[in-house]
Amino acid sequence: MRDIKVGVIGCGLFGSTIIEGFKGVPFAHVEAICDTNSKTLSAAVKKYKIKKAFNDYRELCKLSELDAVCVVTPENMHRAPVMTAFENGKHVYCEKPIATSLGDAEAMITRAEKAGLEFMIGHILRFETRYVMAKEEIDAGKVGKIIALSARRNRVKDQYALYSRTHFAIETSIHDIDTMLWYTKDKVVNVRGFMRQVQKGPNPDVVIGIMEFANGCIAHLETIVLIPKPSGVIIDDAMKVVGDKGILTLDIAPVGLSLWGNKGYQTYDIGYDSRFYGQANGAMLAELTYFARCISEGKKVKIITPYEALESLKVAWRWCNPVK
């Protein structure tokens, strides 16, 4: 296995997670970073001691020593840096969703195929222990034919200001859409979305979806960004898979670790990207390790393909934009 060098475009909240995640991958090294915000970029340079830093992603993508680029820009700004990376012969890891428009997603996939480069979308649940073990039990036939699915992915009110730039069906619920498509190996034929808005902003903070699959399975999804911050709960995620032979239940909260302190009750993310030993761990580390290994060993990315990410976006898009 050869060492690889990576560039990260976008050094905000999740960009820093990617950088810290690679700290746990001994054969992958973040060689360069980029952010259009000079203050954010300077802070990342100081924190992570990365010498090559750019405000323009095109300059980063020109670096001959890079094997791959991670695109962690806002959701509607994936296309330009992804396409530029492919033009410069770089493999790409792109945070989910693949895009916010179907045209952008299809264009990026076409360019990746034409260039013969790997294009992995960061659907992290495909690397989270509980979701992956559930998938293996389903594939082993222990649930039987899937009859119904339900999922929730609820967040603290404060996160609305951070993530409401994108409709939460595309920003958040798309995790569960992808997982349900993965579990059922089926196509969604009908989608019905319901939305309500409590907080002021560009998108609703209550989104409920009903999906019907080709084989008759029905699914319910919810994302509600209204958990009060004083509750101390930061993640409220769950999924249930109902089959004709068994029922699988998966619950992220409670996490099994809490602090009863002077500022109230506090819980932690211990599954997705838990932080300790100076790096991101959990599913985030597993995901980046898999991507890096594929690039290092010259293997195809198979656990999540760009076409699967596109299919999830198509479903989410129908949820946000119902046919009248």
Q: Which two tokens stand for residue 219?
A: 């699914």
pLDDT at 254 over 80: no
pLDDT > 70 fraction of the chain, expressed in percent and rounded: 99
Give the mean model confidence (pLDDT) for residues 180-187. 98
What whole-number distance in Å separates Cα of residue 125 and Cα of residue 132?
Answer: 7
Across the strands, what pairs with 193? 209
% of the chain at pLDDT higher than 90? 86
The per-residue pLDDT for range 95-119, each reduced to its tens digit, is: 999 999 999 999 999 999 999 999 9
- The sign one gets for the Cα dihedral 202, 79, 128, 11 is negative
pLDDT at 323: 55
Give the C-alpha separation, 68 to 22, whole Å.
Answer: 12
Res. 324: pLDDT tops 80? no
- Does a cis peptide bond (omega within 30 degrees of 0) precede residue 254? yes
Q: What fold does the segment set 4-123+278-305 form as a domain?
A: Rossmann fold (3.40.50)
Q: What is the pLDDT of residue 168?
A: 96
Strands 146-155 and 235-243: antiparallel
CATH number for 129-270 (one of 3.40.50.300, 3.30.360.10, 3.20.20.70, 1.10.760.10): it is 3.30.360.10
Residues facing residue 190 across a β-bridge: 212
**What pLDDT, in 10s, does the model give residues 290-317?**
999 999 999 999 999 999 999 999 999 9
The whole-model pTM stands at: 0.95
pLDDT score, position 276? 87
**What is the reported pLDDT for 63?**
98
134-161 residue pLDDT tens: 999 999 999 999 999 999 999 999 999 9
How many other CB atoms sit within 10 Å of the CB of residue 254? 11
CA quadruple 210, 132, 10, 299: dihedral positive or negative? negative
Dist. CA 286–CA 128, nearest whole Å? 8
| Residue ranges covered by each domain of the chain | 4-123+278-305, 129-270
**In residues, how long is the chain?**
324
